[in-house]
């Protein structure tokens, strides 16, 4: 039994909006039955030095309105099966009539289905034949439409300070969340929990972990503010808090604290912002509410949002060349997978319409700038609102978690991207600028919900653009210089330092300089498709000087330019690379009392981008005048350097 699965049927809400939610959440299932959900056998692979697990925590299925409208019919149960290595069916490709069958090359270790909390009820009410509104003109149009206007109509109800539902569906309510939608949303939420529970391996093998989660799809004037909410256990609120009940991010954080962390025994949750590259400077803007001090508000945000999603199929959010306010040399690797080829700089301000690739771009839209903004706030108010760790995922809308291969890319938006012509000419989200997305990696004691969640909370996590690159990163004052040759690397680093996500303690002497060790292993791939070798490892340092000016430096610490290339006509790689790159690096420019962050970027040798493969496939049997412009205009990279980004390590606060 799931929390909320019977509550909605036992009594009807007497009020609307948040009041209705509160009444539903006051109901609780039998405590003993609920506690049983948290019981599991001990994992046989428990390791105090932590194991590496790969997953995907941003996954949409047919229960999300935008996936259903693109003819995706994969549900959460299917999505978890796909994550574990089974096949699913997508819409037919091109003129084909048979479904497109897809399977991941290797099972994931963990995943979460994060369907949009908004419109969970409306989608279900329109597609289930037993629904009282199934035969309404609205629902008939919804089931039969592939019109972009329908998708836009849903989106417009979210992109406002006063988001609103479709009155013709939630007929029993007037303001906020109608009771018909409350009850149906509770049923759908219970089924989402059931799908996660069925997929979770509670045996001692601990082969797969599923998380209960959802997406809060907040936006303002088409500036992206979206977050994914991930719960630590099966104990979750009776309903997900959507943008309708919580129009502002701090209202979501309040709901998670009141209804979960403080209000429900055994419940814990993280809110993970994504696609800051679409936010026009709004997602990581230091704004504060009026009912708390600035320090209290910053602490709440830091507590509930320890991570940011650095990469997914809508592009990279690490860094961007050309934005103002950060001093440092041009970083060519920052040109990776950008959705905007030209842009206006927001400066210290904000803009609008980033979700349709319009408006200005801010330095805060990217990890480096957000980290610097957080340190600036810490210097001002004593608390850093953005002490962000790093993760990545796909944001698939096909229900295919972990489908990140450039070679097997079939898009992430159902029929809108189902064949090469559609992928190379589409505009939603960005057509040929889209990517297969990435994976989140964690160093956790075992493959269980609690261990993986806790690793994310302490930020011992990182993101990759798809490959399963293994990276460890430690910082300290007394790390041995020969750690890379020592088989006790992790043991000694744990004893003498902190892992990624940590903050260094005070230095042993005024002249001391922090030392870091990074150890990276190439993705081994599979027998049929070996992984690519590594080219280089870099440590990126960011700091704010005594005058308040922000700086970033990129240091190559292992490997380097090895001349590796890939032939865009054949996709055959040339050049040597490394299976392991390891280095111990001491910061020569460290200044005491000057807060700094350090994170690692690991780059593979170049490989063919998916669009290069699609263009080659089309060129073989497509008239020249029908070949998409993306194949000939030179605006899209022919190759990519897949990569990994770690969570930062911070120097001590001044």
Average pLDDT of the chain is 91
pLDDT in tens, 37-96: 678 899 999 999 999 999 999 999 999 999 999 999 999 999 999 999 999 999 998 778
Confidence of residue 4 (pLDDT cuts 50, 70, 90): very low
Q: DSSP letters of 423-449? A: HHH--SS-GGG-----EEEEEESSSSH
**Alpha-carbon gap, residue 590 to 596, rounded angstroms:** 8
pLDDT of residue 178: 57
pLDDT of residue 545: 94
∠ CA 367-372-375, nearest 5°, is 130
What does the domain layout of the chain look like in residue ranges?
Answer: 7-457, 469-650
The two tokens of residue 616 are: 């080659």
User: Exposed, middle or buried, 135 (CB in 10 Å: 0-12/13-18/19+)?
Assistant: exposed
DSSP state of 525: B
pLDDT in tens, 14-27: 233 333 333 334 44
pLDDT of residue 166: 79
Give the alpha-carbon dihedral of 539, 544, 547, 553, to 10 degrees: 20
pLDDT in tens, 274-289: 999 999 999 999 999 9
- The pLDDT > 90 percentage for the chain reads 78
**Alpha-carbon gap, residue 286 to 376, rounded angstroms:** 10
Report which of residues 7 and 389 the model is more confident about. 389
Q: Coil, strand or helix: which one is 531?
A: coil
Own/partner contacts of 246-250, CB < 8 Å, gap of 24 or more, are: 246/216, 246/218, 247/161, 247/162, 247/163, 247/218, 248/218, 249/218, 249/225, 249/301, 250/289, 250/297, 250/300, 250/301
User: Exposed, middle or buried, 390 (CB in 10 Å: 0-12/13-18/19+)?
Assistant: buried
pLDDT in tens, 517-554: 999 999 999 999 999 999 999 999 999 999 999 999 99
Residue whose C-alpha is closest to residue 444's, from 45, 90, 163: 45
Q: What is the Cα Rg of the chain in Å? A: 24
Q: What is the mean pLDDT of residues 258-282?
A: 97
Q: Are 425 and 636 in contact (CB under 8 A)?
A: no
pLDDT of residue 18: 38
pLDDT in tens, 144-165: 876 666 766 776 677 666 777 7
In whole angstroms, how far apart are CA 18 and each of 13, 14, 22, 247, 380? 10, 11, 6, 11, 35
pLDDT of residue 63: 97
Confidence of residue 487 (pLDDT cuts 50, 70, 90): very high
Chain-centroid distance of CA 401 in Å reads: 12
**Alpha-carbon gap, residue 94 to 490, rounded angstroms:** 50
Instruction: Name which of 373-382, 402-411, 429-438 the model is least confident about.
Output: 429-438
């Amino acid at each position: 039994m799931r929390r909320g699965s019977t509550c909605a049927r036992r009594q009807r809400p007497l009020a609307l909006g948040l009041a209705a939610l509160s009444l539903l959440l006051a109901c609780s299932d039998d405590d003993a039955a609920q506690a049983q959900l948290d019981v599991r056998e001990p994992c046989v692979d428990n390791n105090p030095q932590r194991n590496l697990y790969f997953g995907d925590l941003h996954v949409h299925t047919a229960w999300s309105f935008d996936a259903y409208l693109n003819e995706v019919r994969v549900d959460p149960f299917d999505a978890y099966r796909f994550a574990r290595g089974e096949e699913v069916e997508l819409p037919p490709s091109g003129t084909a009539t048979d479904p497109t069958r897809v399977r991941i090359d290797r099972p994931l270790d963990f995943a979460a289905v994060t369907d949009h909390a908004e419109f969970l009820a409306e989608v279900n009410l329109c597609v289930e034949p037993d629904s009282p509104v199934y035969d309404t003109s609205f629902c008939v149009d919804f089931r039969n439409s592939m019109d972009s206007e329908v998708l836009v109509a849903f989106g417009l109800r979210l992109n406002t300070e006063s988001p609103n539902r479709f009155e013709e569906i939630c007929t029993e309510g007037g303001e906020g969340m109608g009771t018909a939608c409350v009850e149906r949303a509770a049923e759908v939420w219970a089924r989402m929990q059931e799908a996660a529970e069925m997929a979770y391996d509670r045996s001692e093998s601990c082969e797969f972990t599923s998380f209960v989660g959802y997406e809060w799809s907040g936006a303002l004037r088409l500036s992206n503010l979206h977050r994914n909410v991930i719960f630590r256990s099966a104990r979750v609120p009776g309903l997900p808090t959507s943008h309708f009940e919580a129009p502002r991010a701090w209202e979501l954080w309040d709901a998670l604290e009141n209804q979960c962390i403080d209000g429900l025994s055994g419940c814990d949750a993280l809110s993970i912002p994504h696609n800051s590259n679409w936010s026009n400077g709004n997602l990581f803007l230091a704004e504060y509410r009026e009912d708390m001090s600035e320090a209290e508000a910053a602490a709440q945000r830091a507590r509930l949002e320890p991570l940011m999603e650095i990469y997914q199929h809508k592009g990279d959010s690490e860094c961007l060349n050309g934005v103002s306010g950060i001093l440092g040399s041009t970083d060519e690797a920052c040109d990776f997978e950008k959705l905007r080829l030209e842009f206006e700089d927001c400066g210290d301000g904000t803009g609008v319409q980033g979700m349709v690739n319009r408006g200005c771009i801010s330095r805060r839209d990217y990890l480096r700038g957000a980290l610097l903004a957080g340190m600036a706030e810490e210097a001002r108010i004593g608390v850093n609102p953005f002490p962000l760790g790093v993760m990545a995922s796909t944001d698939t809308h096909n229900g295919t978690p972990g489908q990140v291969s450039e070679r097997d890319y079939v898009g992430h938006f159902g029929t809108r991207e189902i064949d090469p012509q559609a992928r190379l000419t589409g505009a939603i989200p960005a057509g040929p600028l889209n990517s297969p997305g990435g994976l989140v990696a964690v160093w956790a004691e075992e493959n269980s919900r609690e261990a993986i969640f806790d690793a994310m909370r302490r930020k011992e996590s990182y993101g990759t653009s798809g490959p399963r690159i293994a990276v460890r990163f430690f910082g300290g004052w007394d790390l041995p210089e020969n750690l890379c040759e020592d088989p006790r690397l992790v043991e000694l680093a744990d004893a003498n330092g902190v892992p990624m996500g940590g903050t260094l303690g005070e230095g042993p002497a005024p002249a001391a300089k922090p030392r870091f060790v990074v150890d990276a292993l190439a993705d081994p791939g599979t027998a049929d498709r070996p992984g690519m070798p590594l080219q280089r490892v870099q440590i990126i340092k960011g700091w704010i000087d005594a005058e308040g000016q922000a700086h970033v430096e990129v240091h190559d610490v292992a490997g380097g330019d090895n001349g590796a290339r890939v032939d865009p006509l054949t996709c055959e790689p040339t050049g040597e690379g490394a299976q392991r790159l390891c280095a111990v690096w001491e910061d020569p420019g460290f200044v005491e009392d000057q807060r700094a962050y350090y994170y690692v970027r690991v780059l593979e040798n170049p490989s063919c981008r998916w669009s290069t493969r699609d263009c080659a496939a089309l060129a073989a049997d497509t008239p020249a005048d029908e070949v998409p412009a993306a194949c000939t205009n030179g605006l899209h990279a022919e190759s990519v350097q897949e990569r990994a980004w770690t969570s930062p390590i911070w120097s001590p606060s001044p």
